[in-house]
């Protein structure tokens, strides 16, 4: 080989060695990987086809950088650890009986086996548990309670308050349990932090955090003054506690707001029964085995333009008397159909729901002053409140002309409804469900089977008997507006009045 060519290759070799040495030195100083200089086939063979992977060994921030959040995190965990052992999962089985009524006022019952699931909270060392009435309604054949530890016990029903949607059950074991304290719900403020604990979808104890979004919410005429919260509440959470920052029970989770009864889910609006109402019902059930409520014996209606026009009433507030039960306190006090109750026990009446709530909370045996408007005059009547038994059912008896007229009106409308199943009530629905619309009647083409009727003339509907009563009274004199949900969509429809 010529000497000039040898010198060229020698210089080229020196240059390559120098270049690679400098590059390797700089790569090493910058923390690079020297294995990158090996040919791919040599590296893969040597490394066994492994990829380069260098994880971080330091968090993005130190705890000292987020000291306040760190303390809050620890307190949340400590609160959860203290509360969860007192929350239980409830599984029930039994025979459920549902009452149905047709357009002629005939009542019938249907029984079938069913199962249920919900939550509860231990409130005594002896094993008393508070849950929702709809969790155990009709399920008294077997109630099984599962504790946080995994232990499962049989429980028996001590008493229930169906109107408040509260039930008390007890674990019959001679051992001590860990209870939570019932707090003072009157001290709750909008915006305060709360935690909802329960058994959503049967997954086991779960904790969600939120705030009190509002107070004095109503989802029916019987359930008023509820707390609204954005702490996630889902099916299965019913009966579980809503607790404050010290782990006190300030509410019992009862319902969620959802438009889809087939696929209910949390939409940011849940409702809880205030602990003071729960505590009062608990004490009555423990003492007497049942709730104690005042009873007046009237059927009421909220004021609307048709009622105001019919009665020539120009007042702004009040609730109209649509019926009086014979020999009830209202009847003995002199209340009559067509009266408008404007004040009860000195307090102005805004609507029907407020009056019902005040009567139910009245002490048994006291005399209550009731101010009523009648034919342009204001009268003061005195009623002696008695204890309420089972709410009277409205049955259209053929013995009187008014009942026959009501039956004819309902027959012309041709709509049959049923009460909500307990599983539907558990999902937060209120109202009645259309079971059939008779062909050739006024309801045809307006209502459909499966429609959920929530309100009639903007008054909430709680039962089938209440729906038939109000529909007959309204359709006799005017078209009737209905707030319904159809396939998850809210709608407003109008039923025409039957021709005279």
Question: Residue 301 to residues 306, 322, 351, 469, 473: CA-CA distances in angstroms?
Answer: 12, 6, 8, 10, 10
Token pair, residue 160, equals 């229930």
Structure-token match 């305060």, residue found: 192
| Domain span(s) for CATH 2.40.10.10 in the chain | 84-171, 185-288
CB 269 within 8 A of CB 257: yes
Between residues 464 and 416, which one has the greater pLDDT? 416
Measured distance CA(381)–CA(367) in Å, rounded: 10
- Considering only CA atoms, which of 254, 243, 221, 277 is closest in space to residue 426? 254
Instruction: Provide the pLDDT confidence category of residue 36 given band limits of 50, 70 and 90.
Output: low
- Indicate the range of 7-16, 155-164, 432-441, 446-455 predicted with least confidence: 7-16
Residue 134, pLDDT > 70, answer yes
Measured distance CA(340)–CA(318) in Å, rounded: 6
| Domain span(s) for CATH 2.30.42.10 in the chain | 294-387, 401-495
Residue 328, pLDDT > 70, answer yes
Measured distance CA(354)–CA(224) in Å, rounded: 8
- Indicate the range of 326-335, 431-440, 476-485 predicted with least confidence: 476-485
Between residues 397 and 180, which one has the greater pLDDT? 180
Percent of the chain with pLDDT over 70: 79
CATH number of 84-171: 2.40.10.10
End-to-end CA distance of the chain: 126
Q: Where are the alpha helices (DSSP H) in 96-136?
A: 133-136
State residue 459's pLDDT score: 75
As a whole number, mean pLDDT of residues 165-176 equals 89
Between residues 35 and 214, which one has the greater pLDDT? 214
Count the neighbouring beta carbons within 10 Å of the beta carbon of residue 75.
11
pLDDT in tens, 360-395: 778 888 999 999 999 899 999 999 998 875 433 333
Residue 6, pLDDT > 80, answer no
Residue 396, pLDDT > 50, answer no
Residue 102, pLDDT > 80, answer no
CATH domain 294-387 topology: Pdz3 Domain (2.30.42)
- Indicate the range of 150-154, 215-219, 410-414 predicted with least confidence: 215-219
State residue 55's pLDDT score: 87
User: What single DSSP character describes residue 201?
Assistant: G
- For domain 185-288, which architecture applies? Beta Barrel (2.40)
CB 296 within 8 A of CB 329: yes
Token pair, residue 422, equals 């307990």
Between residues 167 and 387, which one has the greater pLDDT? 167
Instruction: Provide the pLDDT confidence category of residue 39 given band limits of 50, 70 and 90.
Output: low
- Indicate the range of 13-17, 103-107, 330-334, 491-495 predicted with least confidence: 103-107
State residue 221's pLDDT score: 46
Which of the residues are catalytic? Answer: 134, 165, 238
State residue 104's pLDDT score: 41
Mean pLDDT of the residues in the chain: 80
Question: Residue 450 to residues 417, 453, 455, 467, 483: CA-CA distances in angstroms?
Answer: 9, 9, 15, 16, 14
- DSSP string covering 262-325, please? SS----S-EEEEEHHHHHHHHHHHHHHSS---EE--EEEEE--HHHHHHHT---SS-EEEEEE-
To 10 degrees, what angle do helices 401-413 and 464-475 make?
90
CATH domain 401-495 topology: Pdz3 Domain (2.30.42)
pLDDT in tens, 240-295: 999 999 999 999 998 776 555 555 555 668 889 999 989 988 998 998 877 777 88
pLDDT in tens, 415-443: 988 888 766 776 667 788 998 898 888 88
């Amino acid at each position: 080989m010529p000497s000039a060519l040898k010198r060229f290759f020698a210089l080229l070799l020196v240059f390559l060695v120098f270049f690679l040495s400098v590059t390797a030195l700089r790569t090493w100083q910058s923390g690079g990987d020297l294995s990158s200089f090996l040919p791919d086939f040599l590296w893969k063979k040597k490394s066994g086809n492994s990829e380069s992977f260098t994880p971080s060994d330091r968090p993005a921030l130190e705890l000292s950088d987020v000291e306040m959040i760190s303390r809050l995190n620890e307190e949340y965990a400590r609160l959860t650890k203290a509360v969860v052992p007192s929350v239980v999962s409830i599984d029930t089985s039994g025979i459920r009986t549902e009452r149905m009524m047709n357009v002629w006022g005939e009542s019938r019952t249907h029984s079938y086996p069913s199962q249920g699931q919900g939550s509860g909270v231990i409130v005594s060392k002896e094993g008393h548990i508070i849950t929702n009435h709809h969790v155990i309604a009709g399920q008294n054949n077997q109630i099984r309670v599962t504790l946080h530890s995994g232990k499962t016990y049989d429980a028996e029903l001590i008493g229930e308050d169906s109107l408040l949607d509260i039930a008390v059950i007890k674990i019959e074991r001679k051992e001590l349990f860990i209870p939570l304290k019932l707090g003072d719900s009157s001290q709750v403020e909008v915006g305060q932090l709360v935690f909802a604990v329960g058994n959503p979808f049967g997954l086991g104890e779960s904790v969600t955090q939120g705030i009190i979004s509002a107070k004095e919410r109503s989802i029916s005429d019987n359930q008023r003054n509820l707390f609204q919260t954005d702490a996630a509440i889902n099916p299965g959470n019913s009966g579980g506690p809503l607790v404050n920052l010290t782990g006190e029970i300030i509410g019992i989770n009862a319902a969620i707001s959802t438009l889809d009864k087939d696929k209910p889910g949390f939409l940011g609006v849940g409702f809880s029964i205030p602990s003071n109402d729960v505590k009062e019902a608990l004490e009555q059930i423990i003492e007497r085995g049942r709730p104690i409520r005042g009873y007046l014996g009237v059927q009421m209606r909220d004021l609307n333009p048709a009622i105001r026009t019919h009665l020539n009433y120009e007042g702004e507030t009040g609730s109209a008397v649509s019926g009086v039960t014979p020999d009830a306190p209202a009847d003995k006090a002199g209340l009559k159909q067509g009266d408008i109750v404007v004040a009860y026990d000195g307090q102005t009446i805004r609507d029907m729901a407020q009056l019902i709530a005040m009567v139910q909370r009245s002490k048994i045996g006291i005399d209550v002053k009731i101010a009523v408007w009648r034919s342009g005059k204001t009268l003061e009547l005195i009623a002696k409140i008695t204890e309420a038994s089972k709410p009277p059912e409205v049955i259209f008896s053929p013995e009187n002309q008014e009942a026959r007229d009501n039956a004819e009106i309902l027959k012309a409308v041709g709509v049959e409804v049923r009460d909500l199943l307990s599983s539907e009530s558990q999902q937060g629905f209120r109202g009645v469900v259309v079971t059939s619309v008779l062909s050739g009647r006024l309801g045809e083409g307006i209502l459909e089977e499966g429609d959920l009727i929530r309100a009639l003339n903007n008054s909430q509907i709680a039962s089938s008997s209440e729906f038939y009563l109000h529909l007959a009274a309204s359709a006799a004199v005017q078209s009737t507006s209905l707030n319904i949900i159809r396939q998850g969509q809210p709608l407003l429809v109008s039923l025409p009045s039957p021709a005279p």
